[in-house]
Structure 1
């Protein structure tokens, strides 16, 4: 297929990707989202999107399979594609191939970077509530988690962060800060000033920052995304990026570790066997997405913008006691259910009484209890149905708005 034909497919695919698939079509999928719970449950829990893949990605993977191109990943094509995307979308030229490494996925890349900059028993600071695997992977790595909770406004609290850094480096220990940017589960997009403050504090205390930027392409209209490595003082920091979340490619594993100029030598010490883990088909798919699928992504972002506003209206009308601050990025909604009369486990109540699967907030650490995380990356019709069902756990729901 020619590039012009790719563009024609792209133009078709970018028409409201979140509205393209029916619930019946989605239930034919066999991934975790659609098989974890019985078929009468609406699954809005795990980070999978209810979208078809963009045409250029399908074409690239199909052609690779047809020619038997299913070996090991190699080359700098992924880094070059991410560099082009970062320049177009963020005005950032920091993805230099010589300072990148292809890794199996973002979390395994984080683990390998943490091995480079910390040792057993050292501390890793996180901003809770935060993505639950941060806790699991850090602890399995024999590192200690030190929490620096977000403020009530879901933003980084510099006082709490400095206190956590001070504890982390006590007795001369090495330490890292695992920064979630944009933040999962709150959808907060950190500002340039906030990131600059993080970098300055990290340098003051000798803490190495490792930024998980997997949701970076998913910053919603009205908010600016700032790559962490683009702010002053991040020369010795690392970032992990991937196309997996923004283009629905979690099953096609690949990610990139990017080092600041002062950390490039450490990244080169990453064991070569790490590069054996990424999927070659994953690299092909991610590269196609980053190069050819901006329009499709714009369609997703428009749909997510619509859904975050729709959810705000539905929550206000039909979920009394539930508080919701629309996210600035990601496709995740963080719902505060502490005043909704659902006892200590709102996720269980919504599942048992409403047949909607959400993610329990307690797993996200300090600040998560009494909350649930809801995946917005679905159609408005499914979102409305989910709120109708959730309202059944609280009281009668009058129907669609």
Structure 2
């Protein structure tokens, strides 16, 4: 998949736009879970103002009273144009898409189409904790196929797991995180081609969570799973929510490969009642009109990742950050600090910095923490200062 040059519109870095005083007026989870003396660098919310085209689209809809039920294919068309321009991928057709409430609820619905109660769903830990929570809540069985060296997909482990879970002729699904959360790994074309071949060999249905796809570092090729040869029976879930900070405006798209279209057609009609009409409007505007804002964000995130690496080398050399190519998250190996399995607890209690504990990410999470980079350089610098002071 060819990497397409990003825009250079000269927009200001949105990560530098808001101060702590204004951010603390927010009432979302990030800013209301902990007391005011805690710096929250945990849940995947960004400290940014919304892109102006998104604000304008939602404001115009409110002025019109356009707050009914979602309809039409504008979201799918906007994503198709974004994918063609950004990733040189022309494989999205509205006929093989469905609007779903959000990515994780879309994942659940895709898994329901191709598995039954008790069937195995394979994941690659350390991985996004809701993978475990949502899969078990829907009465499927989580099977771990841990990441291998360099925190990359391990084809040998995947093949062994696919073979074992289908040995008795039952159904199995593979929930692929691409790009990977929490490591920020961007899977290569060769890696994904191997996944598709293995899935086809063992009859495993692939559901790819691609919510972080817009957040791939410029110059790094992102390969949509459905663009890979052999992935025709797979599904993918995409959304503008992570790239443009729209988690509170619910909407996502389920995409089906050509040979999965009949399965997607069985999606219950009531699933389409879950997305927010304002969410669809916001996501469509982001994908269609706010790519310049996204590019400014990506530049800011790259600068923050460099800043964090330098701060840690200076103040906390015992922490080893994983070298990421996507997301606004940093996966921190804290095992050399002697803080036990849950270093995030120590940084919260002693330093008043909230990180995500590595433990809920499954195998490989102990001794690790996840840090949200999508904040100002000043907040990031203060967070590392506090973390270092917590160990003094």
Q: Given the two structures, how large is their TM-score scaled by the length of structure 2?
A: 0.97
Unaligned regions of 5+ residues in structure 2, if any? 1-6
CA distance in 1, matches of 2:259, 2:200: 13
| C-alpha deviation, 1:166, in angstroms | 1.4
CA contact (8 A) 1:347 1:357 kept: yes
| Equivalent of 2:84 in 73, 82, 87 | 87
| C-alpha deviation, 1:223, in angstroms | 1.4
Q: Does 1:215 align with 2:212?
A: yes
DSSP 3-state at the match of 1:309: helix
Structure-2 residue corresponding to 1:347: 344
Q: What does the per-residue CA deviation read over 1:45-73, in whole Å, with 9 as the maximum and x for residues that have no partner?
A: 00000100011100110111111111111
CA distance in 2, matches of 1:371, 1:271: 40
CA contact (8 A) 2:341 2:368 kept: no
DSSP 3-state at the match of 1:179: strand
Structure-1 residue corresponding to 2:318: 321
Q: How many residues align?
A: 386
| C-alpha deviation, 1:170, in angstroms | 2.5
CA distance in 2, matches of 1:82, 1:253: 16
CA distance in 2, matches of 1:94, 1:137: 28
CA distance in 2, matches of 1:182, 1:352: 31
| C-alpha deviation, 1:151, in angstroms | 1.3
DSSP 3-state at the match of 2:244: coil
- Range with bigger deviation, 162-171 or 21-30: 162-171
| Equivalent of 1:113 in 110, 120, 130 | 110
Q: What does the per-residue CA deviation read over 1:267-303, in whole Å, with 9 as the maximum and x for residues that have no partner?
A: 0100000000000000000000000001000000000
Q: Does 1:370 align with 2:347?
A: no
CA contact (8 A) 1:191 1:226 kept: yes
Structure-1 residue corresponding to 2:192: 195
DSSP 3-state at the match of 1:278: coil
DSSP 3-state at the match of 1:172: coil
Unaligned regions of 5+ residues in structure 1, if any? 1-9, 396-401
DSSP 3-state at the match of 2:374: coil
Structure-2 residue corresponding to 1:46: 43
CA distance in 1, matches of 2:8, 2:273: 35
Structure-2 residue corresponding to 1:18: 15
DSSP 3-state at the match of 1:56: helix
Structure-2 residue corresponding to 1:306: 303
Q: Which runs of 4+ in 1 moved over 3 A?
A: 10-13
Q: Does 1:179 align with 2:207?
A: no
Query: Are residues 152 and 269 of structure 1, via their aligned partners in 2, closer, same or farther at CA, if it must alter by over 3 Å?
Result: same
Q: What does the per-residue CA deviation read over 1:159-211, in whole Å, with 9 as the maximum and x for residues that have no partner?
A: 11111111221311100000000000000000010000000100010000000
CA distance in 2, matches of 1:262, 1:247: 31
CA contact (8 A) 1:13 1:54 kept: no
The correspondence of residues 1-400 of structure 1 with structure 2, limited to 5 A, is 14-395=11-392
| C-alpha deviation, 1:222, in angstroms | 3.4
CA distance in 2, matches of 1:95, 1:77: 13
| C-alpha deviation, 1:152, in angstroms | 3.2
| C-alpha deviation, 1:326, in angstroms | 2.6
- Range with bigger deviation, 152-161 or 241-250: 152-161
CA distance in 1, matches of 2:146, 2:335: 18
